[in-house]
Chains A and B, each alone.
Chain A
């Protein structure tokens, strides 16, 4: 028995709150006083990060904004100054040791013939994507996308760090002290703009434009091959903890399907990353053709339960034999031009072959 009076019990909140209030006033004072250096840009960065996450107001304009970023420098001109999501950064010489913080940046630099020295994989798939393995060299692991190991990055003595505001805005200040750091706004449907931004930092804009042109040619050829009567395509992805997403237009795969002129079901023809459904409503995933991917270990997802379900077997696409499992690492996890061309080749095989 260590407290005797009930009145005290009611008082605990009051006293405690006043203690907290004391802390508040002085705490913020100290915060602003010392925030001149690294912390100054933080609130803005966080607000921006919030806005570009799924559903934020900047979501639809992210591509335009990223397209406006880059450099005025001419090819071969060093040093060059880059405008990007976190401000401007000067790069003194052609980067030799590049660290990439997500698979999109990995794809971008590898497709431009650069072997990065460091790479942060996602939590769900800790290894190098197999479609990039051949040309990526042996980048060192520098933590995961949500838990970067800054010392490991610093230890690599990089001369350029590529990432995105959405993933690592918090770490930008420290990263930019290690090496010139260039951030796009977000990974995903802005992949072409991100590619050009990354290429500008490497002075490989021409190569990047050539790659994108090659992609455009292939994807338009696919569209032409499919003719006027294109099948409606539905994109289903199983994620851990029972999450099932139907990917919509504002996603990597959504942009490729749009480029090919492939029609989408109404529930996926929206300017958003994806809609979520539960196993019980999997009939909403129906279309002429269904492509499924799995993030991480299939056993951690509802995939088996959904696909063993008569509801799934009753889907138009499944009955017609037009439901295909596709590699998650290119179709859903992929965020760059190499993955995009792999996807176009797959689409060609499944839809036109």
Chain B
């Protein structure tokens, strides 16, 4: 991120690339619809989508696709978009290449917010506790950033990661304390402990999309501001941007998007880390291209990870968050090994 070279991409090449990414996303969606513990032929999948499985006589296979795999895939797509865009914005706002909702403890904060809402305040509707997800994520984000900014040198990658690790450990300890003493809460929390997109109903998608849209619009409006910030605070100021406002809006956008993802699927780490970097490699540093590219790639990563989780130990399913972490950590390592992160 702090590299001086700024690569830009032309509208034609950029458009073509986005088209390719969209094609990739379609493939990932089809994969997610076709693969699972039940074998379903691709033709049946397509038939179920287009004709509602009428030609198959409303077969069981078509029903599985429509009632189980479509909602699951839809939630995967939403979580992927939200996390990838949130990661892009966090990296832009903090000017820090390893910023992302999972590592910074924002996802855990949001999920603890949800658990508190359920356990202590008796809030049980998604539209009710999504606000607690925002609040929990926001508080965790601000706390981690303040801690990491303290001391000499400001919020460096390693301090941010450590502050996030400490935050995650603290939240885990709080949750563990609550759940050990209250078995009922443990059951509720299990749902929010490890991010997963299985078993979520299609309703969740219907209830969270307005928040997702709001977050995306907020972020889209500040794409130019993010570009300016990438050049440095002084340059951004010189270009007429209000840097503190930009940071606050960016933080708000990222928190809302993370909250949406957590409310829909629970905490999922590393998607927000890996995807923005891949997007930047593909389309350069201009956020008007990076943001849409990330929004297309995020769901691809989530869906591919989820499909892998379905096929490793059938019929048991490995939660998607476990798979994204296993896929994402090598990426973090590669990133850290590059001089960009820890240059001395």
Contact = CB atoms under 8 A, between A and B. Distances in A.
A and B touch in the complex (CB under 8 A): yes
Interface stretch (B149-157, B186-194, B246-254, B286-294): B186-194
Interface in A108-148: 123-126, 144
Contacts of B317: 242, 278
Nearest to B37: A278
Contact of B187 (A1, A240, A243, A309): A240
Contacts, number: 78
B12 interface: no
B183 A124 contact: yes
Nearest to A306: B199
B2 interface: no
Interface bin, chain B: 20 to 34
A240 B67 CA distance: 21
Contact of B190 (A1, A125, A241, A314): A241
Interface stretch (A52-60, A65-73, A187-195, A296-304): A296-304
Interface stretch (A210-218, A251-259, A279-287): A279-287
A236 B119 CA distance: 29
B316 interface: yes
A126 B316 contact: no
A281 B187 contact: no
Contacts of B63: 309-311, 314
A277 B64 CA distance: 14
B315 A278 contact: yes
A309 B188 contact: no
A227 interface: no
Interface residues of A, number: 29
Nearest to A301: B199
Contacts of A240: 187, 190
Contacts of A305: 68, 198-201
Contacts of A242: 196, 198-199, 316-317
A304 B190 CA distance: 16
A276 B313 CA distance: 12
Contacts of B198: 242, 279, 302, 305
B92 interface: no
Interface in A166-209: none
Nearest to A313: B63
A280 B187 contact: no
Interface in A305-320: 305, 308-311, 314
Contacts of B66: 310
A311 B183 contact: no
Contacts of A310: 58, 63, 66-67
Contacts of B184: 126, 297
B191 A300 contact: yes
B316 A309 contact: no
A318 B44 CA distance: 25
Interface string A207-245: 000000000000000000000000000000000111100
A305 B67 CA distance: 9
B316 A280 contact: no
Q: Which 3 residue pairs are nearest across A and B when measured between Cβ atoms?
A: A297-B187, A280-B38, A278-B315
Interface of A: 1, 123-126, 144, 240-243, 276-281, 283, 296-297, 299-300, 302, 304-305, 308-311, 314
Given A123-B183, A281-B38, A304-B199, 6 more contacts: A278-B315, A297-B184, A299-B191, A305-B201, A311-B68, A314-B63
6 contacts: A123-B186, A126-B184, A242-B198, A305-B201, A308-B67, A309-B64
